Amino acid sequence: MKYTGSCHCGQIAFEVEGTIEGVMACNCSICQRKGVLMWFVPRDKLQLKTRPEDMSTYTFNKHVIKHHFCPVCGIQPFGEATGPDGKAMAAVNVRCLEGVEPDSFPVQHFNGRAL
């Protein structure tokens, strides 16, 4: 299925294709504060519909995850990193997808604090 997503103001917009079977809630210092529910997809399944220059990016700790956010409204619609298999991945914030009810998916809790 193809989904459309964006930040609150629309400065960052994207489409992503795949099947949402579940989401992940991480308790690391950033995810817990933001309340992000992540859906992981291969990076090539996410197509940015706006200019990359319109995003801001934050990294911390080991600087391996690019947390993309809107410099206007502050929303973080997705992040990018390399998966355990070495392939580029996107962590889509399902709360930023149109027509999706985030509470309808099973949530896997991840102990990011332990990393």
pTM above threshold 0.85: yes
**In sequence order, what E strands does 1-115 have?**
2-6, 13-17, 23-26, 38-42, 46-48, 56-58, 66-69, 78-82, 88-93, 107-110
pLDDT band at residue 50 under the 50/70/90 scheme: very high
pLDDT exceeds 90 at position 115: no
User: Per-residue pLDDT for 57 more than 90?
Assistant: yes
Q: What is the pLDDT of residue 17?
A: 98
Taking the alpha carbons of 87, 45, 58, 102 in that order, is the dihedral positive or negative? negative
Total domains present in the chain: 1
Distance in angstroms (rounded) separating the CA atoms of residues 92 and 2: 13
Task: Report the share of the chain in percent with pLDDT over 90.
Answer: 83
What CATH number has the domain bearing residue 48? 2.170.150.70
Question: Which residue range(s) make up the domain with 109?
Answer: 2-114
* Tens-digit pLDDT profile for residues 64-104: 899 999 999 999 999 999 988 999 999 999 999 999 999 99
Q: Are 43 and 82 in contact (CB under 8 A)?
A: no
